[in-house]
Amino acid sequence: METSDLITQNNIIACTGLPKLGGSLTKTKPEGAFFASISYLNKMHNFYYFIDGTPVHKLSVLIQHIAAEIIKLIEVA
C-alpha cells in the first residue's frame, strides 16, 4: 500500500475514556477504562483498554496502543 492510498482513504479514529475520577464513572466504566474505534478500509475495529497510572501516563499509553493497532491494520492491508 502506498502512502497516497492512505491519504485518499476515509480513515477515522475515535477514542473515549476516563483518565481520572469523575465524569461518567460507573462500575462498568471505571477510572482508567478507554474505548477506541478505528474505521479503516471501510471496516470497524473496536478496542477496550484498562490502563493504570496518572492521567498523563494513561493517555500516553493509550496513544501507544492505538498507534500499534494502526500499524497492524496497515501491515495486514
Tens-place pLDDT, residues 30-69: 999 999 999 998 899 999 999 999 999 999 999 999 999 9
Q: What are phi and psi of 43, to 5 degrees?
A: -130, 135
Grid cell 500499534 — which residue?
A: 68
Grid cell 483498554 — which residue?
A: 49
Amino acid at 72: K
Q: What are phi and psi of 49, to 5 degrees?
A: -135, 145
pLDDT of residue 26: 82
Average pLDDT over every residue of 3-10 = 63
